[in-house]
Chains A and B, each alone.
Chain A
Amino acid sequence: MSRYIIRRLLIAVPSLFGISIVLFTVLALAPGDPFGELATNPNVPPAVQAALRAKFGLDDPVYVRYLHWFVAMMHGDWGFSFVSRVDVDTLIWQRLPTTLLVIGSSQVLALLIALPVGVIAATRPYSIFDQVANTFAFIGFSLPTFFTGILFILLFSIKLDWLPFVYKADIAGTGWHWFWECVKQAIMPVAVLGLFQGASWTRYVRSAVLDVIRLEYVTTARAKGLTETTVVVKHVVRNALIPVVTLVALQMPAVFGGAIITEQIFRIPGIGALLISSILANDTPVIMAVTFVFAALVILFNLMADVLYGWLDPRISYR
């Protein structure tokens, strides 16, 4: 198992490299000098501009610039925000926990919906439950997150006035009251993201369980006289989860995309909202760093999926 994890880690490093090359190529192809806000500012005298260009290495060949940038990224020197005049990494570290909290709880919610619904639907294919679940799943992943967010705000904040629609990072108060306020403001964003993911995962779970449930070893388990619950939970689901893990890992980029939208709608101070605001403010160092962080997170979650995969299916880690 540990050798398997090490091998997976060694595969993850080139992907991070590849993504950094894609990112930098995009930046290098872009017209103008996105990094040279100061160097192209007309109020800065030409001599200072030239000095700045030399200092930032704006006139070096592309690969030299890439190497400088990559080494700096690896050292944790992510540059300096043009707008808020703070180091980019402090900015990101401030906001990353909020994003991870929202994404994490929404994924838990999605699994809590998808697993039972998908399994029950697959054990009774073409029943009323299956058809209703299927229709709701279709509706769920056809509703774009930005529209669901607006509908939720309209219903729960404006019409019913149950939940706040602006996420506050600094809620005053202590103890249970504080905790309850935090939970209340997280309900809508988590539900929007979780329902969307849960809908598409329900279909994955259903078709994976359907593939497994007809196999002979399941018949054997039934023939041994095990109860239906034991057969499904211990024999079917564990094997059905293997392809689901792969599909869930493939969905990770979409999950982060959804997080950006939700953060924007509910004004959650996470890195997605940071990305949008820095794009609107032309704050290139922050944009590059946040995109890179998102890429690293996707690779990290893929790595976790791989490890989970090796645990679910020991044949893979022994290869």
Chain B
Amino acid sequence: MAGSTHALATDRVPAAAVVPRKHVSRGREAWRRFRRHRLAGASAIVLLSIVVAVVFGPLLWQVPINDIDFKATLAGPSWAHPLGTDDLGQDLLARVLYGGHISLAVGLAAMMFSIFVGTLIGAIAGVSRGSIDAALMWLTDLFLSLPQLPLLLLIIYLFRDALSKLAGPEFGVFMLIVVVIGAFRWMSVARLVRAQFFSLREKEFVEAARALGASTTRQVIHHILPNSLGPVIVAGTIDVANAIIAESTLSFLGLGFPPDIPTWGRILYDAKDYVDVAPHWALFPGGAIFLTVLTINFIGDGLRDALDPRKVM
């Protein structure tokens, strides 16, 4: 009930005022602003087609990813193999599509993990203040000054074998990579959420809820948290891009998924010693990473314009 006061207030004002323009809700207003960002709109279409290709492509292109064909090794693009083949004659289109699954899944899962941890820590710090807040912010600053890539490599080196045995090579490594990448990316979200909490908890509508006797939990869940999500969504979008780069980096260094699972970074890793004879092998997966990351970054920029109207950049 009380949670919807904010939305209700904006609902009523345009109806009462004599404004010829049709009433726009907050979501629609954001959508309108998002569409004004032309590059973000175009990026959304490109990203959507990448996702559709990765999800439904393997249903149409039913070439196995590990079909070895020594008659067609390192072949350039042709009708039989639209993206060419690698040094074992394996079809690159099938491998890039399959790799896209993993790269996108890792990106999304790591983003959700980091958003969850970041929101939790930021919310606790923002509500409690005092020594708990100081301790959590010290932890955040500590994590921000950790050398992330060396630590990622160290953790994966130490735990990969144990987890592979525990949960299977693919799923074990997937979980490990998601958790580790997420564990190094929550800090900016925590800072954002904390700052939002600090400003929102002094706002009149939260004060009103407090005066009506709402408990702290209720204030947080119904009033403060929903209103602090705008910047978090933007940060989350950009986090997906960063997580995809992080996963590709690990695979590119030969320390991500096992060799028989072709993620985009892994294909690049295999291709890098053949760039002189088979440039297509490196260009297609690399281009896929670049295009995905670029479109996600543009969408994040568009969302920032849409969700944060005060910030005119």
A residues in contact (CB < 8 Å) with B:
15, 18-19, 22-23, 26-27, 30-31, 34, 135, 138-139, 141-144, 146-147, 150-151, 153-154, 158, 207, 210, 250, 252-254, 256-257, 260-261, 264-265, 275-276, 279-280, 282, 287-288, 290-291, 294-295, 297-299, 302
Q: How far is the CB of A157 from chain B (nearest CB, A)?
A: 9
A264 touches B293 (CB 8 A): no
B146 at the interface (CB under 8 A from A): yes
> What's the least CB distance linking A79 to chain B, in Å?
15
- Min CB distance A259 to B, Å, is 9
A207's contact among B39, B276, B313, by CB below 8 Å, is which?
B313
Q: Are B151 and A26 in contact (CB under 8 A)?
A: yes
Give complex CA distance A139, B295 in Å. Answer: 10
Q: In the assembly, what is the distance between CA of A143 and CA of B241, in Å?
A: 11
Q: Report how far A280 CA is from B248 CA in the complex, Å.
A: 18
Secondary structure type dominating chain A contacts: helix
Residue of A whose beta carbon sits closest to that of B156:
A279
> B297 and A146: CB pair below 8 A?
no
Instruction: Verify B154–A31 contact, CB threshold 8 A.
Output: no
Contacts of B27 in A (CB 8 A): none
**Residue B153 at the A interface, CB < 8 A?**
yes
Checking B145, B150, B268 against A302 with a beta-carbon cut-off of 8 angstroms, the contacting residue is B145
Residues in A with CB closer than 8 Å to B253 are: 260-261, 264, 276
> Could you say which of A135, A150, A253 contacts B147, with CB atoms under 8 Å apart?
A253
CA distance A139 to B150 in the complex (A): 26
Q: Does B289 contact A (CB under 8 A)?
A: yes
Residue with the greatest number of chain B CB neighbours at <10 A, chosen from A147, A151, A256: A147
Question: Does residue B52 face the partner (Cβ distance < 8 Å to A)?
Answer: no
Q: B282's contact among A31, A150, A252, A302, by CB below 8 Å, is which?
A: A150
Task: A2 to B313: give the CA distance in the assembly, Å.
Answer: 37
How far is it, in angstroms, between the C-alpha of A142 and the C-alpha of B298 when the chains are bound? 10
Closest chain B residue, CB of each to CB of A259: B149
Known contacts A15-B142, A142-B294; 14 further A-B pairs (Cβ under 8 A): A26-B155, A27-B158, A31-B158, A142-B290, A143-B293, A147-B268, A147-B290, A154-B279, A207-B313, A252-B145, A253-B147, A276-B255, A279-B157, A291-B147
Assess whether B145 is in contact with A254, with CB atoms less than 8 Å apart.
no
Contact (Cβ within 8 A) A291 B158: no
Evaluate contact between A256 and B155: CB separation under 8 angstroms: no
CB of B66 within 8 Å of the partner chain: no
**Chain B residues near A153 (CB-CB < 8 A):** 275
Q: Quick check: A291 and B268 within 8 Å, CB to CB? A: no
Contact between A298 and B146, CB atoms less than 8 A apart: yes
Which of B142, B158, B272, B294 makes the CB contact (< 8 A) with A18? B142
| B144 interfacial contact with A, CB 8 Å | yes
Q: A138-B294, A141-B297, A275-B153 are in contact. Are A146 and B147 (CB under 8 A)?
A: no
Question: Which of A15, A139, A261, A276 touches B145 (beta carbons < 8 Å)?
Answer: A15
Contact yes or no, A210 B313, CB < 8 A: yes
**A256: nearest chain-B partner, CB-CB:** B147
Determine the residue in chain A with the shortest Cβ distance to B143.
A22
Q: Flag if B286 contacts A31 (CB, 8 Å).
A: no
Q: Which residues of B are found within 8 Å of A19, using beta-carbon distances?
A: 142, 145-146
Q: How far apart are the CA atoms of A147 and B255 in the complex, in Å?
A: 17
**Cross-chain pairs A/B with CB under 8 angstroms, 22 sampled:** A26-B155, A26-B158, A30-B158, A31-B162, A138-B297, A141-B297, A143-B290, A144-B249, A144-B289, A144-B293, A146-B248, A154-B279, A207-B313, A250-B144, A253-B147, A260-B153, A275-B150, A287-B154, A295-B145, A298-B145, A298-B147, A299-B145
Partner among B145, B155, B157, B241 whose Cβ is within 8 Å of the Cβ of A253: B145
How near does chain A come to B123, taking the closest CB pair, in angstroms?
Answer: 22
Q: A19-B146, A30-B158, A250-B144 are in contact. Are A142 and B241 (CB under 8 A)?
A: yes
With a CB–CB cut-off of 8 A, which chain B residues contact A297? Answer: 147
A252 to B147: give the CA distance in the assembly, Å.
8
- Whether B148 pairs with A257 at a CB distance below 8 angstroms is yes
Chain B residues, Cβ within 8 Å of A141: 297
Shortest Cβ distance from B112 into chain A, in angstroms? 21
A294-B150 contact given A26-B158, A144-B248, A250-B144, CB 8 Å threshold:
yes
A108 to chain B, nearest CB (A): 21
B171 at the interface (CB under 8 A from A): no
Report B-chain residues with C-beta under 8 Å of the C-beta of A210: 313
Kindly state whether residue B252 has any CB partner on chain A within 8 Å. yes
* B223-261 at interface with A (beta carbon < 8 Å): 241, 245, 248-249, 252-255
- Which residues of chain A are within 8 angstroms of B249 by Cβ–Cβ distance? 144, 146, 257, 261
B56, CB-defined interface residue at 8 Å = no
In the docked arrangement, what's the CA distance between A34 and B268, Å?
Answer: 30
Q: How far is it, in angstroms, between the C-alpha of A143 and the C-alpha of B255 when the chains are bound?
A: 20
Cβ–Cβ contact B146 & A295, under 8 A: yes
